[in-house]
């Protein structure tokens, strides 16, 4: 922010005014010259050679006007005016120089328009002359407004003044006042954000000079004498910015830039090219190749400091953005993992795609229920933390087996554990997968019993058939399955024996060729009556 007390030096105000004048006048002057060229071309093509002399004079006057405006720029860059040339003198001369060619354009244009008005098939010429003269009139108004150069005595100008001549001068004045001048020592002041910078230049003097300047600004500086060396250093340690020379003996700066931008680990490091090459092609190619900026040698230290500050600020913003995105990615993965603990992955995908009601009929699924024998008595003896610890260790081991065999854990109900297979995709071996898991559960529990406070026994029941599957709940979702096949599996578990895996006849048909199954006689299932069942004892 600029202090209201700040008053720009007269020289700065004049330079800003001249730049403003140049900006305001260049576009209409170029337009007038363009119209003049079109008129010349059209007159030639339409056989109106009698207008050529006047049109060439208009064109010459427009080019003269452009030259006068261009001279303003060069004069604005002069450090001082000539002796005896004060600001008011200069402005009077400027007004005269600007009005002379524009008056010639208007004069010849108006005469030509009168001559062309009486010529058949010259209406297009008259129309273009009208546009040219309108543009010239507007330009004259701008000249009168801009070159009055009467700065207001106070800054109390109102919005109503905007667009008038004096306000044009005030606009430039305000711009200058808004930009504080750079102090002489600012180029070497301490850097706001000290950073690690790599200077790449084959000239030792240039390297040392840059190093000293940057270190005085608080940066940490490393030096590379050629392109190959710089690439090795960049791969060994992190840098915040690279100052890169173009002309080097081994690898050119342009090649170094191309290698950097093709390397995912290095491409985000900003690069400022500093080179004695001032060809526009070199500058454009470097910017296209990914350079953040380009400075010509010998460089202005104040400008270099500004460019370094800008590049570092953008780099630090990108770093913060990358850190935020990484934190967001980790948080998303954590959330998705939590969601996977609640719902099967295919169901999560469907919910994400916009499905709001998930209810499926699934044919030929195998369901397993497992329950601990005597757990109620055990729960009365063990302290709550120890009891939860027992269940946690056993169920965690079962969860691992579910992942191993590709079986979907549906839920736990107290000390009961329920899984199913065949719910998603084409899984013809669903009964085999559940049978393998049941056998593994029994073996795992035998192993875990050595570490538990009291040995546990488990009984299991399996059945295969059709189910209805879906998601229920508004706030706490649960994926569940229902149907007679589920009820039978539960009954088979409750009517099984400790340490045994009891399967239904439908599951038997899936397993009989690959597993060892023993028939169980006289099984009566509540609500189902006599039911054929088998004990699964192992694989063949």
Residue 428 DSSP class: T
Q: Does 133 reside within a domain?
A: yes
pLDDT digits (tens, 9 = 90+) for 386-442: 999 999 999 999 999 999 999 999 999 989 999 999 999 888 999 999 999 999 999
CATH number of the domain at 108, please: 1.20.120.230
pLDDT above 90 covers a percentage of the chain that reads 38
What's 3-52 look like in SS3?
CCCCCCCHHHHHHHHHHHHHHHHHHHHHHHHHHHHHHHHHHHHCCCHHHH
pLDDT digits (tens, 9 = 90+) for 30-49: 888 888 888 888 888 888 88
Question: Looking up tokens 């329950």, which residue turns up?
Answer: 371
Same domain flag for 392 and 274: no
The whole-angstrom distance between residue 186's C-alpha and the CA centroid of its chain comes to 34
Q: How far is CA 205 from CA 59, 199, 200, in A?
A: 52, 12, 12
Across residues 258-286, what is the average pLDDT?
Answer: 88
User: 155 vs 211, which has greater pLDDT?
Assistant: 211
Q: Does 180 reside within a domain?
A: no
Q: Does 170 reside within a domain?
A: no
For residue 214, pLDDT over 60 is answered with: yes
CATH number of the domain at 411, please: 3.30.70.1230
φ, ψ for residue 264 (rounded to 5)? -55, -30
Give the model's confidence band at 172: pLDDT under 50 very low, under 70 low, under 90 confident, else very high: low
Same domain flag for 394 and 499: yes
Same domain flag for 510 and 382: yes
- What are the b/e assignments for 251-280, b being 16+ CB within 10 Å? bebbebbebbbeeeebeebbbbbbbebeee
For residue 92, pLDDT over 80 is answered with: no
User: 84 vs 178, which has greater pLDDT?
Assistant: 178
Q: How far apart are CA 264 and CA 55, in angstroms?
A: 60
Q: Which residues pair with 420 in a beta bridge?
A: 367, 408
Q: How many residues does the chain have?
A: 540
What per-residue confidence (pLDDT) applies to 84? Answer: 47
Is the preceding omega at residue 298 within 30 degrees of 0, hence cis?
yes
Same domain flag for 397 and 290: no
Q: Could you give the number of structural domains in the chain?
A: 3
Same domain flag for 386 and 303: no
Give the model's confidence band at 163: pLDDT under 50 very low, under 70 low, under 90 confident, else very high: very low
φ, ψ for residue 237 (rounded to 5)? -150, 150
Q: How far apart are CA 399 and CA 408, in angstroms?
A: 9
For residue 155, pLDDT over 50 is answered with: no
φ, ψ for residue 379 (rounded to 5)? -65, -25
The number of CA neighbours under 13 Å toward the Cβ of 245 is 26
pLDDT digits (tens, 9 = 90+) for 192-207: 578 999 999 988 888 8
φ, ψ for residue 167 (rounded to 5)? -70, -30
Identify the domain containing residue 123 by its residue range.
14-74+98-145
Q: Does 257 reside within a domain?
A: yes
pLDDT above 70 covers a percentage of the chain that reads 82
Q: Are 419 and 407 in contact (CB under 8 A)?
A: yes
pLDDT digits (tens, 9 = 90+) for 298-352: 778 888 888 898 899 988 898 999 999 999 999 999 988 888 888 888 998 898 8
Same domain flag for 532 and 444: yes
Same domain flag for 300 and 360: no
Q: How far apart are CA 286 and CA 293, in angstroms?
A: 8
Same domain flag for 410 and 522: yes
DSSP 360-402: EEEEEEEEEEEEEETHHHHHHHS-HHHHHHHHHHHHHHHHHHH
CATH number of the domain at 308, please: 3.40.50.2300
Same domain flag for 397 and 497: yes
Q: Does 118 reside within a domain?
A: yes
For residue 165, pLDDT over 50 is answered with: no
For residue 515, pLDDT over 50 is answered with: yes
Same domain flag for 111 and 255: no
Same domain flag for 496 and 418: yes
Q: How far apart are CA 358 and CA 127, in angstroms?
A: 72
The number of CA neighbours under 13 Å toward the Cβ of 145 is 19
Across residues 238-260, what is the average pLDDT?
Answer: 90
Question: Which residue, 145, 127, 139, 119, is CA-closest to 61?
Answer: 139
- Pull the structure tokens for residue 238: 């992190």
Q: Does 350 reside within a domain?
A: yes
Q: Are 459 and 373 in contact (CB under 8 A)?
A: yes
Q: How far apart are CA 429 and CA 393, in angstroms?
A: 28
pLDDT digits (tens, 9 = 90+) for 442-481: 999 999 999 988 889 999 999 999 999 999 887 778 899 9
Q: Does 338 reside within a domain?
A: no
First to last CA, the chain: 85
For residue 80, pLDDT over 60 is answered with: no
Give the model's confidence band at 161: pLDDT under 50 very low, under 70 low, under 90 confident, else very high: very low
Q: How far apart are CA 57 and CA 40, in angstroms?
A: 10
What per-residue confidence (pLDDT) applies to 431? Answer: 97
Q: Does 388 reside within a domain?
A: yes
φ, ψ for residue 6 (rounded to 5)? -70, 130
User: 240 vs 170, which has greater pLDDT?
Assistant: 240
φ, ψ for residue 85 (rounded to 5)? -100, 95
What per-residue confidence (pLDDT) applies to 72? Answer: 66
Same domain flag for 111 and 246: no
What per-residue confidence (pLDDT) applies to 158? Answer: 45
User: 130 vs 24, which has greater pLDDT?
Assistant: 130
Question: Which residue, 189, 227, 66, is CA-closest to 139?
Answer: 66
Q: Are 132 and 28 in contact (CB under 8 A)?
A: no
């Amino acid at each position: 922010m600029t202090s209201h007390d700040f008053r720009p030096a007269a020289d700065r105000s004049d330079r800003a005014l001249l730049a403003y004048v140049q900006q305001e006048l260049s576009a209409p002057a170029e337009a007038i010259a363009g119209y003049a060229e079109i008129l010349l071309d059209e007159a030639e093509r339409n056989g109106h050679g009698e207008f050529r002399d006047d049109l060439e004079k208009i064109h010459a006057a427009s080019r003269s006007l452009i030259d006068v405006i261009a001279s303003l720029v060069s004069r604005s860059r002069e450090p001082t005016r000539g002796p005896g040339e004060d600001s008011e003198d200069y402005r009077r001369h400027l007004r005269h120089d600007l009005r002379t060619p524009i008056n010639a354009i208007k004069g010849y244009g108006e005469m030509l328009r009168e001559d062309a008005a009486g010529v058949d098939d010259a209406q297009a010429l008259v129309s273009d002359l009208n546009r040219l003269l309108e543009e010239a009139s507007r330009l004259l108004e701008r000249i009168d407004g801009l070159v009055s150069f009467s700065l207001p005595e106070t800054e109390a100008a109102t919005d109503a003044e905007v667009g008038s001549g004096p306000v044009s001068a005030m606009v430039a004045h305000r711009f200058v006042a808004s930009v504080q001048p750079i102090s002489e020592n600012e180029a070497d002041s301490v850097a706001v954000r000290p950073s690690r910078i790599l200077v790449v230049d084959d000239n030792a003097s240039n390297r040392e000079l840059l190093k000293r300047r940057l270190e005085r600004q608080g940066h940490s500086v490393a030096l590379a004498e050629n392109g190959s060396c710089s690439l090795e250093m960049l791969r060994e340690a992190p840098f915040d910015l690279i100052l890169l020379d173009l002309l080097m003996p081994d690898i050119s700066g342009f090649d170094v830039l191309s290698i950097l931008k093709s390397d995912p680990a290095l491409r985000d490091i900003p690069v400022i090219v500093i080179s004695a090459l001032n060809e526009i092609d070199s500058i454009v190619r470097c910017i296209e190749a990914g350079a953040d900026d380009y400075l010509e040698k010998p460089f202005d230290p104040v400008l270099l400091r500004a460019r370094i500050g800008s590049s570092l600020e953008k780099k630090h913003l990108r770093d913060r953005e990358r850190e935020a995105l990484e934190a967001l990615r980790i948080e998303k993965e954590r959330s998705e993992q939590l969601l996977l603990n609640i719902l099967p992955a295919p169901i999560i995908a469907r919910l994400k795609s916009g499905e709001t009601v998930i209810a499926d009929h699934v044919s030929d699924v195998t369901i397993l229920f497992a329950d601990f024998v005597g757990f109620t008595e055990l729960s009365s003896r063990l302290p709550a933390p120890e009891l939860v610890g027992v269940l946690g260790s056993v169920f965690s081991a079962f969860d691992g087996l579910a992942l191993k065999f590709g079986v979907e854990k549906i839920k736990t109900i107290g000390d009961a554990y329920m899984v199913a297979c065949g719910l998603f995709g084409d899984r013809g071996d669903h009964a085999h997968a559940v049978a393998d898991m049941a056998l593994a559960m029994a073996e795992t529990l035998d192993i875990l019993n050595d570490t538990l406070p009291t040995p546990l026994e488990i009984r299991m029941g399996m059945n295969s058939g059709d189910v209805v599957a879906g998601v229920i709940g508004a706030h706490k979702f649960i994926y569940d399955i229902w149907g007679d096949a589920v009820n039978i599996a539960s009954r088979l578990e409750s009517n099984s024996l400790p340490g045994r895996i009891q399967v239904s006849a439908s599951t038997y048909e899936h397993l009989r060729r690959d597993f060892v199954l023993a028939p169980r006689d006289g099984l009566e299932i509540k609500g189902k009556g006599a039911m054929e069942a088998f004990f699964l004892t192992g694989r063949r």
